[in-house]
Structure formats: C-alpha cells, structure tokens
Structure 1
Amino acid sequence: MKNTRTPLVAALALAAGAALAVPGAARAEYNLTLCGASPGGLWSLLGAGIDGALKQALPGSTVTYQTSGGGFANVVQLDQGKCDLAIIHDAEAIAAIKGEEPFQAPVKSMKTIAVLYTWAPEQFIVNKSFAEEHGIETMEDIAEKKVPINVLLNRRGNVVSAIGESMLEAAGASIENIESWGGSVTFAASKEQGEMMRDRRADALLNSLFVNHQSIQQLASAIDVVLIPIGDETAAKVMEEWSIDRFTIPASAYAWNDRDTLTVTVAAQLFAHEDADPQMVEDLTSALVEHADALQGVHKAMQPLDAKLMASATAVPYHPAAADVYKAKGLQ
C-alpha cells in the first residue's frame, strides 16, 4: 500500500513517537491543595515535605498547605472536593467510615496514599514552678489534689484534642472537674499554645507533637517546664477507647527531663479522594517513595519514615494507583 503521508506529517508523527519513547518527557506538573491543621504545627512541616518531594520529582509542581480544623474536618473537606489531599489520623478515618461521632453518616470516599508517621505522642508539658507548687508528678495527681490548673488542648475538630480530653478524664481530671477546682481547659492551635504558656496565660499544654519538636524547644528556652507522665491504668483506658498505642518518651529526649515518660501516641496518613486522577496519584506516590528524604528532612523525628512504612496502612484501603506503585516496588 502506497504511503500517502506528506513529509511534514511524517516528520510530526516521528517527533511525537520519539517524545513518547522518552521516559518522563510528557510528565505533568501539578498544583495541589493539602488540607492539614493549624499553621506552624506538626502537619505544616509534613506539608512542606510532601511539597518538596513532588517538586523534586516534577519541577514546577506545588502542594499548597491549607489550614484546617484537623483530621475530622479534613474528611469532610476531601469528600466535598475542597482539597486534593488531606492528612487524617487513622482513628479519624475509621470513625468516618463507621459514621461515628462527629459524623452523622458514613464517609467512605477517602483512599490511602501513604502512612506518614506512627509516632506523635501526646505530651503533657507543665510549667515547672506550677508543678512544684502543687506537687504534680503524674497526671493523676491533678485529680487527687484537685489542682486548679489551666490546661491547653488542641483545637476542637481533630482526634488529638479528643484524645487529650480522654486522657484527662481517664486520670480523673475531666473538664468539668478541673473547672470545679477553679481551673480551665482551653482549645487552641499549636502555635497559640506556646505563646499562651510563655505569657503565663496557661499552666500546661497537652498536644500530639514529635519528640523534641521545635515548638517545645522554643517553649523550654523561654520558661522552665516539666514533662508529666500518665499511669498505666490511664494509658490502658485511652488505648482501648481509641485503638491507639502506648509510647514512652525516653529521659534522654530532653535535657530538662530526667525520666522516661509514659503516654499514648497517634498515627497519621495521607489520603486522596477515591475519584482522584490515577495518574496524579501514581506520580505523587512515586515522588514520595523516591524522595522520602524530603519528608525525613522536615524534622529529625521523621527519620524513621521510609517507603516500607508508607506502604503499611491497614485502616483504610489504598487508592489503586498508589497500591500499584508499592506493588511494583515489592512493598506490598
């Protein structure tokens, strides 16, 4: 059969074929929004790391961190298409799927992209002079001595705040009890907590933070603080309620802490909507796996993160395109 293509058409076809044959020649750039939590907190660092990984893989791409009320709020934001990606604790995701509080009906549209961490202990940090004045050695001492303490919890709307409430209640120091003793419980973003502690507007904070997080270093350099543990019974109650793990902060973690400190910890994952563009999910997952160092570098506590951990989620199924990446690399 005679070839009827003109030389120009043939040249264009050849050029197109050559472009397709070059790996990565047609890779896209992405402009994605990531629902996180409060500005300046733990998740904002992870947002910067995810942005850095995608930029390394696909120069020109951007992941914009979007302030949010936290994981519970992020479930709704992601479901409604108000962000492309979201960081959500696994306990929050399970509550959403089951339709448990604060959800009025099951939300099943989220799919896992990667596990980000399984270590972010609830840290109960108390002004040292206040702790010494009232003889606070453990969280349970607050109830035993009916201490009029002013405690800061993270903003309502995320599991970190709710777990903090559960810890206080399990230790006998519910919000109602604390208020009856002349104290208070205030809900504030991570950045606000440090400011309020430094200004002596609060006596303690209870928040999920990486060990030796920058905000803790800054607080400890401004005022003397102590790290207060919970007892085994309190830990057991909270672990059963939330299906989370115990965590021991070693004495060596802080220069101003001289004992191992028992607490509990939460895990967080990166999610996309089940209808997310499979190519985007594949590119993003590959970027995270290939450039895990971008996330490891946001804080020394992120050093344990690797591709194997990213692929280890069990709470919520992976997006098929993300699962394909992990399977291709022998991680699932």
Structure 2
Amino acid sequence: MNKTIVIAIIFGFVFLTACEKDNEQEAKGAVQSEATFHTTIVGGRVGGAWSVFAEGIAESIRREHEGAIITVEPGGIVENPLTVATGTVPYGLSYAMTSYAAYSGDEPYDQPYEDIRSVSVVIPANYYQFIVAADVYYDSFEEMIKQKAPIRLAVDQKGAAGEIITRNILEAYGISYGDIISWGGSIDYLSGSKTFEMMADNRIDASGDAVSAPSSDIIEASTLMRLKMLELNGKVIERVSEKLGMDAGTINATAYPFLEEDVATVSTPAILIAHKDVPEEDVYQMTKAIYENFDYLRTVHKEFNSLSEDNMMKVGNVPLHPGAEKFFREKGMLP
C-alpha cells in the first residue's frame, strides 16, 4: 500500500477518535450544566421564619433540577437588598417596600442601588399591626393623639422596616416621637419577643411592626395578656402607601381571638430579589420552580398558603428581572 495512503488513513483515524472524545466530553458537559443549578439565597436570621421561607425556595429549585446546589445564608430585611445589589450574593428575600427604598435610595439607604431586580412574591402580605394593651383608655390613634396619651411605645430597631413604617404613620397623623415623649411617654427600640415580654410586665403600652397575620408572637402574647389592635384611617393609609411603596390591607377579624372586626392597615409583600446580572435563564428557572411548587411550599410554612398564580408577580415597584418577566409573560400573567 502506498505510504502516503497509510499515513492518511492513520491521521483520519486519530482525527475521528479525537472528535468522538470531544463530542463525548461536550455531551457530558452539557448534561452536567443542565443538571447543575448552583446559587445562593440570603434569607433571615437562623431559625426564624425568613430562613424557612428561603429554604423553601431553595428546595423548590432542587426539586426541579437534580443535583442543584442551593445555599441559604442568614440575613435581614434591610441588609439583604444591599447584599444582592453589591453582587455579594445573587438572590435574597426582603420586603417589596424595603427593596424599593434601596433601589431608589430612600431611607434607610444613603444612595440608590439600581442593580436590584425583583423575581417573585414569596409571602403576599405582611401587615402593619399596632398592638396595645387592652386596658389603655383609647381605642384609636385619633383618641390617643387628642388626649396626648403618655404612651410607652416599642418600635423595631432604628432604621428597620417596622420602625420606619411606625414613624411614617405617626407623621401622617401629625405627630412625632418627640411629641410622645413630651406627653410623658417613651420610645423603645425593641424586637418583637422582648416587646411583648415587657408589655406583659406593664412596662410597654403599645408596639407597631409589619408582620404576618396571624403573627406567632402576637398569638403567644394574647395568651398572657389582653390585647387590642388600632386601625389606620383612610387618609393615613393613602399617605403612607404612597410614600413607602406599600399597599392598603385588611387584617381579617379571624386572625386573632381578641379581634371583633376587620382592621384597616397597610401591607407589603415579601419578595425574592436578584442582581440584574444574574443570567436570564437562571432567573427564569428560579421563577418557574416557585410556580411549579405551590403545593410543596404550603407544606413548608403556612405563610405560603396565600401565594398563588394571581399574586406571585405583584412585586411592587422594583423592576422585574428579564428572566422573571419572560416566565410571567409566557404564562399570560403579564400583558
């Protein structure tokens, strides 16, 4: 056989073998890429409800993508938008109102963080709840202000979402923390559990925060003392909603045994946010996983019971990530 032909045959065999190996490795890589979804979600404090919410979302992804590696890290409502906006982690949970405050540079943030994008509602409503001891002599904000009640008020930590809402509600009624102090009252920056402990000891008269309804802290407190809840008037709801990017809300009388009628207030959903540079396909798959796992999520925490196709895209004023928008449009959930 001609020497040149032999060399050509050998070269061709080696070339085909190399191509087959390359194709095989490429196919394996494609399968591995398709099977592996690797990301991080920042949630709430360890053992708290928000860490459970984040883990529920993470498990939804694992159920849809075999081999997915989803890490859930602790965080906070105010801190998480910064963590996401600066690219420290790709995903996080926060209130819609807090995410928008970060996006637009409003309190408690010192500048706009415009790299935040919204993905999906996680918990559709967190209601502002102003709880007072049942034996106080006023039944409304208007009475409290008219009588210049020396209220001992507990608010969340300074700059936290609940504290900002409380302060803005008081301002919408025309008063400030300083006014309350001038009436002989006090302002204490406390967490929910500590607040109700002090209320049971008659050291605190009232507390305001945005939490789920029913709230486990409030239910537990109601077993130790008599409570009542003050509602907001229409003008205050309108002003606070417009200023903070919140919504009007109603707490159903069935939420707590001490309520005799529905309570008008403001609310904000908890949402999943992402950095704008997270790939569109990744966010699409994240959104799809939440949508496909409503039934599972309802077994994770009762707060997921109200999450549905009708409200998961109602994320507030932070722009949707293109991946989430693509999914919602495909499902006909957006025009």
Q: Report the TM-score when normalising by structure 1.
A: 0.82
- Asked if 1 retains the 8 angstrom alpha-carbon contact of 2:43 and 2:50, the reply is no
Q: Distance in 2 between matches of 1:212 and 1:206?
A: 14
Equivalences, count: 324
Q: Distance in 2 between matches of 1:248 and 1:311?
A: 20
Q: Distance in 1 between matches of 2:14 and 2:311?
A: 53
Deviation at 1:124, TM superposition (A): 1.0
Q: Distance in 2 between matches of 1:272 and 1:65?
A: 15
For 1:146, the equivalent position in structure 2 comes to: 148
For 1:53, the equivalent position in structure 2 comes to: 60
Paired AA for residue 161 in structure 2: V
For 1:62, the equivalent position in structure 2 comes to: 70
Percentage of pairs with the same residue: 25
Structure 2 gap ranges (5+): 1-7
Q: Distance in 2 between matches of 1:47 and 1:83?
A: 13
For 1:121, the equivalent position in structure 2 comes to: 127
Are the structure 2 counterparts of residues 246 and 282 from structure 1 closer, same or farther at C-alpha, using a change threshold of 3 Å?
closer
For 1:221, the equivalent position in structure 2 comes to: 223
Selected match of 1:176 from 175, 178, 192: 178
Deviation at 1:273, TM superposition (A): 0.8
For 1:95, the equivalent position in structure 2 comes to: 101
Q: Distance in 2 between matches of 1:271 and 1:197?
A: 35
- Asked if 1 retains the 8 angstrom alpha-carbon contact of 2:153 and 2:186, the reply is yes
Q: Which 10-residue stretch deviates more, 177-186 or 3-12?
A: 3-12
**2:257 maps to 1:255:** yes
Deviation at 1:29, TM superposition (A): 4.3
Deviation at 1:49, TM superposition (A): 2.3
Are the structure 2 counterparts of residues 298 and 126 from structure 1 closer, same or farther at C-alpha, using a change threshold of 3 Å?
farther
Decide which structure has the larger Cα Rg and report it.
2
Q: Distance in 2 between matches of 1:240 and 1:246?
A: 10
Q: Distance in 1 between matches of 2:84 and 2:284?
A: 18
RMSD: 3.1
- Asked if 2 retains the 8 angstrom alpha-carbon contact of 1:153 and 1:207, the reply is yes
**1:273-318: per-residue Cα shift (whole Å, max 9, x none)?**
1122445433322221211334334443432212442234452222
SS in 1 for 2:131: strand
Structure 1 gap ranges (5+): none
For 1:306, the equivalent position in structure 2 comes to: 308
Q: Distance in 2 between matches of 1:100 and 1:25?
A: 40
Q: Report the TM-score when normalising by structure 2.
A: 0.82
Q: Distance in 1 between matches of 2:25 and 2:132?
A: 65
Deviation at 1:208, TM superposition (A): 0.9
SS in 2 for 1:267: strand
Q: Which 10-residue stretch deviates more, 59-68 or 281-290?
A: 59-68
Are the structure 2 counterparts of residues 266 and 40 from structure 1 closer, same or farther at C-alpha, using a change threshold of 3 Å?
farther
Structure 1 ranges of 4+ moved more than 6 A: none
Q: Distance in 1 between matches of 2:214 and 2:181?
A: 30
Paired AA for residue 245 in structure 1: D
For 2:3, the equivalent position in structure 1 comes to: none
Selected match of 1:320 from 319, 322, 332: 322
For 1:291, the equivalent position in structure 2 comes to: 293
Paired AA for residue 268 in structure 1: A
- Asked if 1 retains the 8 angstrom alpha-carbon contact of 2:162 and 2:209, the reply is yes
Q: Which 10-residue stretch deviates more, 294-303 or 73-82?
A: 294-303
Paired AA for residue 51 in structure 1: A
Q: 1:172-211, aligned counterparts within 5 Å?
A: 172-211=174-213
Selected match of 2:166 from 164, 167, 182: 164
